[in-house]
Amino acid sequence: MVDVIDITKPIFADVEVNRACNANCVYCPVSVTKKRKNEVMSLEEYENILQRLLQHEIAGITFNSYNEPLIDPLLKNRISLVRKLGIKNKLILFSNGILLNEDIINFVNDTDFLNITFNLPSIHEKEWEVLLGVDKRFHKKTLENIDNFIETQEYINFNISVHGESTTLTRRTQEIEQYYSPFENVVVRQVFSHNRAGSINNDYVLQPNHNVKKTGGCDWWDKETRLFNHLLISYKSKILLCSHDFHQKHEIGDLKKHSIEEILLSEKSIDIRNQIYGKKTLDKNLICNNCFFLR
């Protein structure tokens, strides 16, 4: 069991700036969920969240947790706002790259991003189509977009994430490593895909094999961070349980009304923390019961 859990110190925050995706990755809950309307967080709400995050030593602020940030009509306005607030090298972009264009590529500057990660499951057109759930005619252009970005912005740290559990994962990763080997600013990562606390169940994601009796926490991010050190903030400005709460079942508090500290020290948040870290019985309705990372 963990002795000291300082949940009042957020280190990373995933901010859901928009609510829809232009892909259907077989390893993502988006692919097994009814198409959602692209609700977009207003700039005022985004600024409020940034101001609240600035009260803490935040290392990274991600556009979205699921969904595609390049379909956010306010994306450039958000980056401008981040610059206006003096936030440097903290934004993190996760994208499938399909909608990248010259306009965005030329807009980005060297202090905007901590890193940019592209979700690229395969270098092959047909395989990409199956894994990303996007028509293969977009494959060539997407690779060109990503390559163009990487070549133009050589000062940015790029990651390529290769997802989707299957016998092909290692081969796909090696091929992508080979493809990007000429680029010094690119790291290719094989990322394991899991069931997102019960939100998706198929052959491309790992399922938990534990039998939850007494819990000792969760370590989905890394060994140093605890629950709420990494925040998930919904497009409605709500702090949610964690980034695996795809269906937004567990709202912890409202950033339109309260500070991060007030929310993380609330009775509700302490109660959930006590359940996950084994001081109380886990509520049977908590998504954690189906989570790969529960210990």
Residues sharing a CB contact under 8 Å with residue 112, sequence separation 6 or more, in sequence order: 79, 82, 83, 88, 89, 91
Comparison of 14 and 45: residue with beta carbon closer to ligand SF4:
14
Q: How far is the CB of 241 from ligand SF4 (least distance, A)?
A: 5
Interface positions with ligand SF4 (CB under 6 A): 197, 218, 220, 227, 241-242, 244, 276, 287-288, 291, 293-294
Strand, helix or coil for residue 27: coil
User: Would you mind telling me the total number of residues written for the chain in this entry?
Assistant: 295
Q: How far is the CB of 272 from ligand SF4 (least distance, A)?
A: 8
Nearest CA-CA partner of 71 in 112, 36, 111? 36
Strand, helix or coil for residue 74: coil
Q: How far is the CB of 244 from ligand SF4 (least distance, A)?
A: 4
Comparison of 233 and 287: residue with beta carbon closer to ligand SF4:
287
Comparison of 119 and 195: residue with beta carbon closer to ligand SF4:
195
Question: Which two tokens mark 224?
Answer: 């140093």
Comparison of 179 and 221: residue with beta carbon closer to ligand SF4:
221
Strand, helix or coil for residue 75: helix
Residues β-bridged to residue 95: 118
Q: How far is the CB of 232 from ligand SF4 (least distance, A)?
A: 9
Comparison of 163 and 244: residue with beta carbon closer to ligand SF4:
244
Q: How far is the CB of 240 from ligand SF4 (least distance, A)?
A: 10
Helix 125-132 / helix 139-152 crossing angle, nearest 10 deg: 90
Give how far the C-alpha of residue 275 lies from the chain's centroid of Cα atoms, to the nearest Å: 24
